[in-house]
Amino acid sequence: MHTSGFRSDIQGLRAIAVLLVLLFHFETPIQGGYLGVDMFFVVSGFVIASSTLREIDRTQSFSWKNFLRRRVRRLLPGVAVVSVLVVLASVVLMSPFGSQQTASQMLVGAATYSSNFVLMSRNYFSLDPKSNPLMHFWSLAVEEQFYLLWPVVVIGLLAARRKYGHRFSKVLTWLIVLITIYATCRLFVWFSIDGPIVNSYSWFRPLMDRNISPERLAFYSPLTRSWEFVAGVGVALAVRATWVRKTEKLGSCYWFAGALLVAWAVRLASITPGYEHGPDTATNTTATMLVVLGTSLILFGGEFGPLVSRALTVKPLTVIGDWSYSVYLWHWPIWVLLITTFNRSRQVTIAATVLSILFGWAQFRWIEKPIRDGARLPRVSLGRLVAGLVVIALFFYGSMSVVTSAIGKYVAGRELEEISAHIIEKPCKKEEFVIDMARSCAYSVAGNTGTAVLVGDSMARSLSDGFVAAANAETLNAYIFSLPGCSFLAFDSPFSPTLECIGWRQNVFASLAQIQPKLVLIANMNSLYTQLPLADFTLEKTRDAWGYELTRTFEALAPLQAKVMLVQPPPSFEYDLRYDISLLRKNGVQEDRTTVIARRAPINLIEVQTAGLYPFVAPVLNFDDLFCNADTCTQKIGKQFMLEDANHLSVEGSMLAAPLLQNAIALALAK
């Protein structure tokens, strides 16, 4: 047994865990690699419990001050170095529109070990990697929160042992371990699987109001993650139990069973990496439980099966295991900075892997190990270390608010909120037209000759500025009805069939009947609704269904005796300029025209063919040539953002489209 000493196989297990995380974050086919974090949690619980038990055996007591001091000296210096250097690098290499501010916010979260709470309102698996170079710190926060609670539990159990005896405290310890594992695991699974049910409870409403869903709480919360740490604690207790010696001969079997479960879990999570229970989470709860059980069995079996555990003690694994904490700290910011600067490629993945290990080694060699062993900063107290990082974090946080604003104005000419401050979202200067859910300001013009109405989802919102300018230039009063995420089609269309969307469509049709416009412009983000097939449909049939729904919409508009115009979305870019622009790359990514146009080409063609069937429908208006030359497409002209994200027009982009809109309106009404 190894209960009294160091186990090199655990370092190998740590290496496996960190390599899995790298494979996941570097976007390889091993999408189940995120389970490496769960493996880390189990290993941490086992190591901390084993260390504490040895201390109690040796001294019959437990020093919470020494425990926390060791933890802080082990973890905090590396976090401080990575955080500060990444924030400084972000000034040059990352976007001032989100990424730099997020990095400074996460620096404060890192200093206070609250990064998981900072991120709790966002789905970890749907965040743009370029938006947050310190996103991976959430797991370190959860681990530190466990370490803060651990001394309280240990001191309480020692007090119970002194008062009620060793036997009572042992039974109490096992009860706490088993109840914690069962209750918090059950909570984790319940929140992950039955999120909509949990949402219906009044006690959860305050969290929902803060955009914290049950699925996100299950992922980030130390409460719903504690069963993983406590599983490791249970193993540490089990290997010391007298009854375990009767199963020593089965050590190799436990180890092999654990290894198979871990491999099965990673494969399962790679095949179905996410959305096992819904679109708000990518945690496969089945795989998570399997990997926790498998890691526990590997730790348990390695205690009694040293021959098989030697598979984890080969030199490369143990060395990477020694560096694993520093490698974990560096790998994500290295990846984010590389893909922001050079975009994704096989060469970038290889470079990220090599640099992660190299930086991990350097930090372990010159920062982590010397400080942990007391060779550096030996006299610096726990309070000074923590206070020092908090002060540094607050300084950078305050400074970045000024720096990022200046950089943003330099590369884009204006603040980000101004880029997306569309006229439809501003208070009405004149009267407002309202029929229940259908609401629009009246954008009137002197001497008007009629009315034009723009209807649609977020595409109509982003087009609103150019539409009002174009309609008023043609002496038409303008109205805009927009509901993001709800395409304007026949009210009972299977596309966006929510009660809110159905009601809004009915209200808009009623509004059109009352307004009696000369022209109706429909602007929907068409590819959003046809990129995935409808239930029981193929992708091709889904696109055909979109064309059919357009015919129903045109027929429903026919009694108005108005001209109808279909306006298609701008080109769809792979990269969001908000995260790609920086001091180093002021214009972001120039994408290939053929590739960009192809993303919406099938559904755009169907719309053109459908519109051609109706004489009162004007030719479909397309903006591709506004943003693309013969070879490439761009999101930025001069200093101005033409798009506010990868799909929607900015205020300037909308105004760029105004002359085309005005010409199309004039031609449509002339016929």
**pLDDT beyond 60 at 277:** no
More confident residue, 435 or 98: 435
**pLDDT beyond 50 at 649:** yes
pTM comes to 0.80
Q: Quote the pLDDT of residue 3.
A: 46
519-577 tens-digit pLDDT: 999 999 999 999 889 888 999 999 999 999 999 999 999 999 999 999 999 999 987 88
Mean pLDDT of 223-245: 91
What is the percentage of the chain residues whose pLDDT exceeds 70? 97
Flag the least confident range among 91-95, 365-369, 371-375. 371-375
Chain-centre distance of CA 220, in angstroms?
Answer: 12
End-to-end CA distance of the chain: 90
Cα dihedral: 539, 541, 542, 545 (round 10) = 170
Q: What are the counts of helices (DSSP H) followed by strands (DSSP E) for the chain?
A: 28, 10
Q: In which band, very low, low, confident or very high, does the pLDDT at 4 lie, cut at 50, 70 and 90?
A: very low
Burial of 158 (0-12, 13-18, 19+ CB in 10 A): middle
More confident residue, 611 or 279: 611
Nearest to 293 by CA among 316, 332, 262: 262
For 406, the token pair is: 């200046």
For 412, the token pair is: 């884009």
What average pLDDT does the chain have?
90
Q: Which fold has domain 416-572+597-625+651-670?
A: Rossmann fold (3.40.50)
Other Cβ atoms within 10 Å of 71 Cβ, number: 18
Q: Quote the pLDDT of residue 275.
A: 47
617-630 tens-digit pLDDT: 999 999 999 999 99
Other Cβ atoms within 10 Å of 264 Cβ, number: 16
Q: How is the chain split into domains, by residue range?
A: 8-410, 416-572+597-625+651-670
